[in-house]
Amino acid sequence: MPNLRYLEPTELLEKIYATLCSEYEDAQHYESQQDQEEIKVTKKRLTKKIFNEFVVDEEYFLTMKNETFKERYQLYEADLIRMIQECSENRIDYETFIQIIDDLIASAKFRLQAFEQLSDEIQKLQEEDEQDEEEGE
């Protein structure tokens, strides 16, 4: 198992990922338009299920409060979906897949930390300005 910093993979995540990989493989063997459409819908649904199965800070993306998701991960949603699709389409092994996802989540966490640091610095400056004003009176 890779050394993950943020992603907390579940057993179900691994099973859904394996199923999605097999859907991409199976798609090569069906020629009818109807079969291809059904496979396309299945791949889309499984991709979303994988996305919803991501657990970070002991919280599933699926059940995360909307405000929390928007603040932390919405900017990365398209990238995460793309990673899921491209990894499964190219049959990237599961351990590498979760490492890639963990790296992308790390980027989201670092971004959030940078904005928190900025807010802290602004607050410190505002407090210093208020203190200077009080001393000047």
Q: Please indicate, yes or no, if residue 63 is contained in any of the structural domains.
A: yes
Q: Please indicate, yes or no, if residue 27 is contained in any of the structural domains.
A: yes
In this structure, are residues 64 and 128 in contact, taking their beta carbons and an 8 Å threshold? no
Q: What is the largest CA-CA distance in the chain?
A: 82
Q: Please indicate, yes or no, if residue 5 is contained in any of the structural domains.
A: no
Counted domains in the chain: 1
Q: Please indicate, yes or no, if residue 16 is contained in any of the structural domains.
A: yes
What pLDDT does 127 receive?
A: 87
pLDDT digits (tens, 9 = 90+) for 12-66: 999 999 999 999 999 989 989 999 999 999 999 999 999 999 999 999 999 999 9
Coil, helix or strand for 31? coil
Provide the domain limits for residue 85.
Answer: 11-136
What pLDDT does 21 receive?
A: 97
Q: Please indicate, yes or no, if residue 42 is contained in any of the structural domains.
A: yes
In this structure, are residues 7 and 80 in contact, taking their beta carbons and an 8 Å threshold? no
Question: For 107-127, what is the mean pLDDT?
Answer: 91
Q: Please indicate, yes or no, if residue 30 is contained in any of the structural domains.
A: yes
Q: Please indicate, yes or no, if residue 31 is contained in any of the structural domains.
A: yes
Closest CA to 105 of 65, 42, 56, 68: 56
Q: Please indicate, yes or no, if residue 3 is contained in any of the structural domains.
A: no
**Helix/strand/coil (H, E, C) string of 44-60?**
HHHHHHHHHHCEECCEE
